[in-house]
Amino acid sequence: MTFNKLMMQKCAIALGSNLGDSLNILETTITLLSQHPSMELISHSPWYQTTPVGPPQPDYLNGCAILETSLTPEDLLQTLLGIEQKFGRIRREKWGPRTLDLDLLLYGDLILDSPSLTIPHPLMLERAFVLVPLANIAANWVHPMSKKMIQEHLNQLNCEGIRQLIN
């Protein structure tokens, strides 16, 4: 599939952090995304304190953002990975603690399965810590594979351990 660099595409990303000053890291990331020349920040969710999945570690702060971008999915992924690295992201163990985690969840209604990128994100529908903030800003977005709205998927999940951060 070829992408017109001038064509803007709506996408959803998930943000998470549980090492360092997580709130500041997430807020700064939102600012970086909004200032990127190939992106427009449409909205972002409130932050949620969430119980971690994986090995014992501190609670996470999680949220989601909706962007419009002229970047291809692969270029957007590389941009997100570059932002993670700016905050010292080191990939040591699967589902381990991290200063910043950025996941590309949805890119319009694109379905893509390549060696470097899968869209929609393959685990997003199983993760309340993703769907709670995403439903806050995109409840009616239809998942391109299931053809169900994000809110419908969220209604099927246990949302224990997810609390909206009041700042």
Question: Catalytic positions, please?
Answer: 89, 98, 101, 103
Indicate the burial class of 62 (C-beta count within 10 angstroms; 0-12, 13-18, 19 or more).
Answer: buried
Q: Cα dihedral sign for 110, 111, 115, 117?
A: positive
Question: Distance (Å, rounded) from C-alpha 161 to C-alpha 101?
Answer: 19
Q: Cα dihedral sign for 30, 158, 118, 85?
A: positive
- Contacts of 119-124 with CB under 8 Å at 24 or more apart are 119/73, 120/144, 120/145, 121/14, 124/14
Contact status, residue 15 vs residue 41, Cβ threshold 8 Å = no
Name the percent of the chain in helix, strand, coil, to the closest 5: 30, 25, 45
Question: Distance (Å, rounded) from C-alpha 58 to C-alpha 110?
Answer: 34
